[in-house]
Structure 1
Amino acid sequence: MTRRKLTEEEIELWRKVARQAERMHPEIPQTVHPTSLPKPKPKKTPKPRFEAFEMGQSHQPKQKPNDLKPSITDTLRRAPVQMDSKAFGRLKRGKLKPEGKLDLHGMRVDTAHPALIRFVLASQAQGKRLVLVVTGKGKDRDEPGPIPTPRGVLRNQVPHWLTIPPLAQAVMQVTPAHISHGGDGAYYVYLRRIR
């Protein structure tokens, strides 16, 4: 649509109104011909095809439980598989038969650790690949207090002992045993070959 030009009457009417009007800011000097800026043309902003997105804008953090340390069983199940994955699958289903067994029931920490070292190193020397270490599930403790006490000292210590020297060089994989071999109260220990 084109803008029409003002007629002589309209221009005269405007001048008359301008003479009678009081200035809003008399301290500012008046120019002879006030310059008016042309009206800006409206810019067409294209609609975005997609809304703006920032990484993680819709992420809502999960509420963490009060459990400060995951259980040993969960930690071992999440550990990466070091042995053959096909053999590991058979191991988890209880299809592989352990070649040796060590029962640590009733032992104290000071006698269980040396017995575990002797058993694992002797089994590796004999060429065994899979052995079973039975720790038991441990006794329930109903100790009140803010600090949780883990159930079963040996059950928590044996996986740690198997990952530190002198057993770290002999052990390839540690995983909780199948229910047919003792479940959470026992561990499969897959040994490395001696070269």
Structure 2
Amino acid sequence: MSSKRPPRRLSEDDIAIWRNVARSATPMHPRAKAVTPEGAKPEPAQPEPLPRSPAIPEFRVGEAARYDHSKGHNLTPTLSARLAAEPLRMDHKTFNRMKRGKLRPERKIDLHGMTLARAHPALSRFIISAQADGCRLVLVVTGKGSTQRPDDDGPIPTPRGILRTQVPQWLRMAPLGALVLQVSQAHASHGGSGAYYVYLSRRR
């Protein structure tokens, strides 16, 4: 009865030659584990290099930070820019005539001088009543705000003319949002930046 011969163990020179060959070979399956010859200890896995972080400009203690004071703290678009960016939901030709002051508002409400608590329900009643009566274009006067208190450019900016800022938001909220097609700053002949054109949907 023949005895099974024990497997031949590689010498240190054989293991060194194997490792040199393994390093230069390109694996057919990149995710497959490298084969380690019997008797050789597996080489420790090399950590993948970390991605290089972008260079950070050097800053020394006591150095003045670079800050453009002309831009202030408020990075949000202006009220006029936000209104101009809204999608057009009314006829383009009619909108252009309205912006040029060529359309005469059918009704007008003046909220100037009112508190927010009084102005909001007054505006709601006005818009609901005008739309129910079949009006299409109405004028909402808010005023430009007190000239004695300029825009607050602090960490949390508070614009001058709180009614001028709130009215477009109220007109987008329920129940008025379903009745209003377009809100736009009025032409100078109808109050300019202190008033809004509000174009209403047709009565159903």
Question: What pairs with 1:48-67 in structure 2 (closer than 5 Å)?
Answer: 65-66=71-72, 67=74
Letter of the structure 1 residue corresponding to residue 171 of structure 2? L
- Rate the CA distance shift 1:167–1:148 in 2: closer, same or farther, 3 A: same
SS in 1 for 2:113: coil
CA contact (8 A) 2:143 2:161 kept: yes
The list of structure 1 runs, each at least 4 consecutive aligned residues, that deviate by more than 6 angstroms after superposition, is none
Out of 82, 89, 97, the residue aligned to residue 89 of structure 2 is: 82
- Rate the CA distance shift 1:174–1:145 in 2: closer, same or farther, 3 A: closer
SS in 1 for 2:166: helix
Corresponding position: 1:166 with 2:175: yes
- Rate the CA distance shift 1:86–1:151 in 2: closer, same or farther, 3 A: same
Match of residue 184 from structure 1: 193
Out of 101, 105, 113, the residue aligned to residue 98 of structure 1 is: 105
Identity, in percent, stands at 59
Match of residue 144 from structure 2: 137
Corresponding position: 1:123 with 2:130: yes
SS in 1 for 2:101: coil
Letter of the structure 1 residue corresponding to residue 162 of structure 2? V
- What is the total number of aligned residue pairs between the two structures? 133
- Rate the CA distance shift 1:182–1:68 in 2: closer, same or farther, 3 A: same
CA shift at 1:147, angstroms? Answer: 3.1
Letter of the structure 2 residue corresponding to residue 158 of structure 1? V
Backbone CA RMSD of aligned residues? 1.9
Which 5+ residue runs of structure 1 have no aligned equivalent? 1-62
Distance in 1, matches of 2:182 and 2:154, equals: 35
Distance in 1, matches of 2:109 and 2:81, equals: 22
Letter of the structure 1 residue corresponding to residue 84 of structure 2? R
Which 5+ residue runs of structure 2 have no aligned equivalent? 1-67
Larger Rg: 1
